[in-house]
């Protein structure tokens, strides 16, 4: 995984965590759900990168 991909993955996951927390604090269920989805996308990208790394050796 390139440096740019790692940054995008970490950034998206962090953004999702913050959005989810803000949504919960504000009582905005939709915002919390969107944040949770963004966090899950970031986790999936990270897992993809780790899997790629395993096969590269």
The predicted model scores a pTM of 0.75
Domains: count for the chain:
1
Owning domain of residue 51: 3-56
pLDDT in tens, the chain (57 residues): 677 877 777 888 899 999 999 999 999 999 999 999 999 999 998 888 888 777 776
- pLDDT recorded at residue 57: 61
> What are the C-alpha distances in Å from 2 to residues 8, 9, 16, 19?
10, 11, 21, 26
- pLDDT recorded at residue 21: 96
């Amino acid at each position: 995984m390139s440096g740019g991909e790692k940054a995008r993955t970490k950034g998206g996951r962090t953004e999702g965590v913050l959005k989810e927390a803000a949504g919960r604090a504000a009582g905005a269920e939709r915002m919390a759900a969107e944040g949770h989805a963004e966090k899950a996308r970031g986790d999936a990208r990270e897992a993809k990168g780790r899997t790629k790394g395993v096969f590269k050796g």
